[in-house]
Amino acid sequence: MEIRQRILIVDDNKDNLYALERMLSGTGAQVIRASTGNEALIASLNNEFAVAILDVQMPGMDGYELAELLRGTQKTRNLPIIFLSAIYSDDYHVFKGYDAGGVDFIIKPYNPRILINKVRIFLELDRQKEESAEANRQLQREVADREKAEAGLKHAMAELARSNAELDSFAYSVSHDLRAPLRGMNGFSQALLEDYSEILDEQGKDYLCRICSESERMSQLIDDLLNLSRVSRAEIRREPVDLSGIVRTIAAEMERREPDRAVEFLVEEGAEVNGDARLLRLVLENLLGNAWKFTQKRSRAKIEFGRKATNGECAFFVRDNGAGFDMVYAGKLFGAFQRLHSASEFEGTGIGLATVQRIIHRHGGRVWAEGAVGQGASFYFAL
Ligand SMILES: Nc1ncnc2c1ncn2[C@@H]1O[C@H](COP(=O)(O)OP(=O)(O)OP(=O)(O)O)[C@@H](O)[C@H]1O
Ligand SMILES: [Mg+2]
């Protein structure tokens, strides 16, 4: 909104006031008249002025005294003052005017165009001052808005962390409580099989076997869920971790467990990172376990571990030449119980990558995957 600027003119002579007002009407500013110092002070209390023009010789309070008073008041401290004087044109009075806070001293008779141009300059300065003050206020409003938004975000994040923690402890106790009845089902099915096998026909025995294997599967799912919620609750303890060393240990362990598999391991040495050693080991166990599992149909399986620089950050990767996956579903991989391969083809419950993602996120890092059907997969993480 454009606020009209105001000019204060003070003169005890009505004709002078009238002439000044007419002269200044072309500036577009509103002219406020005062015929005494007191009137001027009252006007200055109720209005903002861009510039004031004071007659020096006035009965009672003269222009200098008025200027002193205006300068001593907070609101008009920086008001530019132009003195007009017919009588005092000597240096002494001119400088007295400057001392009183005047910015200019014009001696009558004067050329109206000179006065008008000087007033215009002060109006322009005032406008610029007002604009930068407004820009400043706008900036302050924006800063305040941003601070408010940040506080809101912080609050929402704390809220989310709290409800996540609640959900995790809920999952933990539910999974925990599910185990007992499941054990019961499994146990009684076994008992039926053992103690009543003469009474049951083959189909009956088959049903019981299925109940047993399904309950074992469910027990595995519960274990996985419990592990996942443990990962979320565990405290992160950071220390330098030798990832290359961990990869070598896990590879040796897998080779020992399945000596029939011939898998070539390529491990880059010296890959170190700051993080929680126990949790990062779990990440590598899952990624290498997957690589091992999804290369089982390759006659020349190859698993690589190394570092790669990607847009300014250093990412670690586990790469294999196994079954691969369709990139269309790359976003699904990290969800709990999400599997792209059937259990008959490759066994598993689909919790490994969900665990990996949680651990990496808890370190403040990110994890992603690349792959193609039949052409292997690469899993990256950066901390
Ligand atoms: N190296 C890989 N190559 C091809 N597909 C993969 C690879 N790693 C994971 N996947 C795909 O992502 C899915 C989810 O992996 P995730 O590790 O979470 O589960 P899983 O290995 O099937 O079971 P779990 O890890 O719980 O035993 C897998 O079922 C598979 O479809
Ligand atoms: Mg897995």
Q: What is the DSSP string of 61-125?
A: S-HHHHHHHHHTSGGGTT--EEEEESS--SHHHHHHHHHTTEEEEEESS--HHHHHHHHHHHHHH
Residue with CA closest to ligand 1 atom 17: 352
* Residue 34 φ then ψ, to 5°: -145, 135
Q: Is the pLDDT of residue 373 over 90?
A: yes
Secondary structure letter of residue 327 according to DSSP = G
Joined tokens for residue 343: 């259990």
User: Please, which pLDDT band fits residue 377 given cuts at 50, 70 and 90?
Assistant: very high
- 293 and 372 fall within a common domain: yes
Which atom of ligand 1 is nearest the CA belonging to 318? 1
- For residue 134, CA distances in Å to 1, 30, 171, 270 come to 11, 21, 54, 57
Instruction: Give the pLDDT confidence score for residue 374 in this predicted structure.
Output: 95
Where does residue 152 rank: exposed (0-12), middle (13-18), buried (19+ CB within 10 A)? Answer: exposed
Does residue 85 form part of some domain?
yes
Is residue 72 a contact partner of residue 92, using CB atoms and an 8 Å limit? no
- 244 and 377 fall within a common domain: yes
Does residue 122 form part of some domain?
no
Does residue 11 form part of some domain?
yes
- What's the 352 CA to ligand 2 centre distance in angstroms? 4
Does residue 143 form part of some domain?
no
Which atom of ligand 1 is nearest the CA belonging to 379? 1
Q: Is the pLDDT of residue 81 over 80?
A: yes
- 155 and 207 fall within a common domain: yes
Strand residue runs (E) in 113-252: 239-242
End-to-end CA gap in the chain: 51
- 224 and 286 fall within a common domain: no
- What is the average pLDDT across 261-270? 96
Does residue 141 form part of some domain?
no
- 161 and 99 fall within a common domain: no
Where does residue 180 rank: exposed (0-12), middle (13-18), buried (19+ CB within 10 A)? Answer: exposed
Among the three residues 233, 251, 270, which one is the final residue of a domain in this structure? 233
Q: What is the pLDDT of residues 266-292, one digit of tens each?
A: 999 999 999 999 899 999 999 999 999
Q: Is the pLDDT of residue 127 over 80?
A: yes
Is residue 28 a contact partner of residue 2, using CB atoms and an 8 Å limit? no
Give the domain range for residue 287: 239-382
Which amino acids bring their CB within 6 angstroms of ligand 1? 224, 286, 290-291, 294, 320, 322-325, 333, 338-341, 348-354, 371, 377
Among the three residues 200, 233, 266, which one is the final residue of a domain in this structure? 233
Instruction: Give the pLDDT confidence score for residue 140 in this predicted structure.
Output: 95
Long-range contacts of range 362-368, CB-CB < 8 Å, 24 or more positions apart? 362/231, 362/232, 362/236, 362/279, 363/236, 363/275, 363/276, 363/279, 367/334, 368/330
Nearest to 246 by CA among 226, 265, 227, 225: 265
- What's the 312 CA to ligand 1 centre distance in angstroms? 28
User: Please, which pLDDT band fits residue 2 given cuts at 50, 70 and 90?
Assistant: low
Nearest to 320 by CA among 294, 356, 345, 282: 294
User: Please, which pLDDT band fits residue 306 given cuts at 50, 70 and 90?
Assistant: very high
- 276 and 362 fall within a common domain: yes
- 79 and 214 fall within a common domain: no
Which helix or strand (DSSP H or E) is residue 367 part of?
strand 366-371
- 329 and 366 fall within a common domain: yes
- 328 and 342 fall within a common domain: yes
Q: What is the pLDDT of residues 5-30, one digit of tens each?
A: 999 999 999 999 999 999 999 999 99
- 229 and 188 fall within a common domain: yes
- What's the 348 CA to ligand 1 centre distance in angstroms? 7
Q: Ligand 1 test: best mutation among 326, 346, 353, 358, most atoms within 8 Å of CB? A: 353
User: Please, which pLDDT band fits residue 227 given cuts at 50, 70 and 90?
Assistant: confident
Instruction: Provide the CATH number for the domain around residue 291.
Output: 3.30.565.10
- 85 and 161 fall within a common domain: no
Q: Is the pLDDT of residue 165 over 90?
A: no
Among the three residues 175, 198, 233, which one is the final residue of a domain in this structure? 233
Q: Ligand 1 test: best mutation among 333, 338, 375, most atoms within 8 Å of CB? A: 333
